[in-house]
């Protein structure tokens, strides 16, 4: 029987690469993003279907509890053959994970600001998506996995900044330390149910990741929709030119000498979603080209 997955924040960048990689691995993949990214999301769905896999595009805000619950129901209906009822349906809770075995909570946002300039609105928005969104995806996935009794794979988006913080990104760092802690606690709670919970930690500069950050905060764009603004904003603060920060990281900070591609991250998620990682749980795995060593 085909295995099925749900990937949030999948319209572009890292999320898109993860969804396409899982499809190449033979999984059917439901993809999610916010309404503003629906055009890109539909294209990802079509790319997956061209591979001969089932897919469905679901727009939803992962920071809203009912939206996450409905998203999972929609994925079950579209990828499987079950006639799924309401969210309170016992049939849904007992059999959903015959349909979806893997969830990747990838959606997230970022913003460059000094601590003294961060507003409560900035802080709350950051945690609503990066922390609450991951929490809700973990929670809803675990509820049905536990009821089903067949285990599963829960995978979250952390960051190297969830291991080692950086200035001008304090609220982002704090949210990712939260994801790391949640991942460890969830792994401890759910191991007895044969559910593994792990996270992936991309480097600070990932292609089409740290981009258009301040605009993204205002518009609600996910991290995969960004342009070059983290580099640009950090350069302004440090009195450098656009591109200088990325060059510095490539030349002096990243051992392998290049920023990562979305496909680099997708390869790690492929492993975390596979049976090869069955004996691994509670880990937030660094994948940053040798910038952070543990």
d(CA 191, CA 136): 18
Structural domain includes residue 293: no
Asked whether the predicted pLDDT for residue 182 surpasses 50, the reply is: yes
What pLDDT does residue 254 have? 83
What pLDDT does residue 217 have? 40
Structural domain includes residue 165: yes
CATH number at residue 75: 3.40.50.720
Please say whether the beta carbons of 217 and 31 come within 8 A: no
Structural domain includes residue 193: yes
Residues in a beta bridge with 74: none
Q: Where are the beta strands (DSSP E) in the chain?
A: 4-7, 28-33, 55-59, 102-105, 152-157, 195-202, 284-287
Structural domain includes residue 292: no
- Average pLDDT over all residues of the chain: 84
d(CA 294, CA 286): 9
What pLDDT does residue 89 have? 41
Better pLDDT: 258 or 162 = 162
Structural domain includes residue 294: no
Q: Using 50, 70 and 90 to split pLDDT, how confident is the model at 248?
A: low
Range of the domain at 83: 4-287
Asked whether the predicted pLDDT for residue 219 surpasses 70, the reply is: no
| Residues identified as active-site | 172, 176
Predicted confidence (pLDDT) per residue in 121-168, tens digit = 999 999 999 999 999 999 999 987 888 788 999 999 999 999 999 888
Predicted confidence (pLDDT) per residue in 24-48, tens digit = 999 999 999 999 999 999 999 999 9
Query: How many other C-beta atoms can be found within 10 angstroms of the C-beta atom of residue 275?
Result: 8
What pLDDT does residue 218 have? 38
Residues in a beta bridge with 157: 200
Q: Which of 286, 279, 293 is nearest to 264 (CA)?
A: 286
d(CA 217, CA 187): 30
Q: What is the number of structural domains in the chain?
A: 1
Query: Structure pTM?
Result: 0.86
Structural domain includes residue 89: yes
């Amino acid at each position: 029987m085909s295995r099925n997955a749900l990937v949030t924040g999948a319209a572009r960048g890292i999320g898109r690469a993860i969804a396409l990689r899982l499809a190449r691995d033979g999984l059917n993949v439901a993809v999610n993003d916010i309404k503003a990214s629906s055009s890109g999301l539909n294209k990802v769905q079509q790319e997956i279907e061209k591979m001969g896999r089932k897919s469905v595009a679901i727009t939803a805000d992962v920071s809203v509890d009912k939206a996450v619950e409905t998203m999972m129901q929609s994925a079950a209906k579209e990828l499987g053959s079950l006639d799924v009822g309401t969210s309170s349906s016992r049939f849904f809770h007992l059999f959903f994970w015959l349909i979806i075995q893997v969830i990747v909570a990838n959606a997230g946002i970022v913003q460059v600001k000094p601590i003294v300039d961060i507003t409560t609105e900035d802080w709350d928005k950051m945690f609503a998506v990066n922390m609450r969104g991951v929490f809700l995806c973990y929670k809803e996935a675990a509820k049905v996995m536990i009821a089903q009794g067949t285990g599963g794979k829960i995978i979250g988006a952390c960051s190297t900044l969830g291991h080692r913080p950086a200035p001008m990104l304090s609220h982002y760092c704090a949210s990712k330390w939260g994801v790391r802690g949640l991942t460890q606690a969830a792994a401890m709670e759910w191991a007895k149910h044969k559910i593994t919970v792990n996270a992936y930690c991309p480097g600070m500069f990932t292609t089409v990741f740290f981009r258009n950050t301040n605009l993204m905060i205002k518009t609600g764009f996910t991290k995969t929709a960004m342009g070059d603004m983290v580099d640009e904003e950090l350069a302004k603060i440090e009195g450098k030119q656009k591109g200088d920060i990325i060059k510095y990281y490539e030349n002096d900070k990243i051992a392998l000498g290049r920023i990562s591609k979305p496909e680099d991250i997708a390869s790690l998620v492929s492993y975390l979603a596979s049976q090869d990682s069955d004996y691994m749980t509670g880990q937030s795995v660094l994948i940053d080209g040798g910038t952070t060593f543990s």
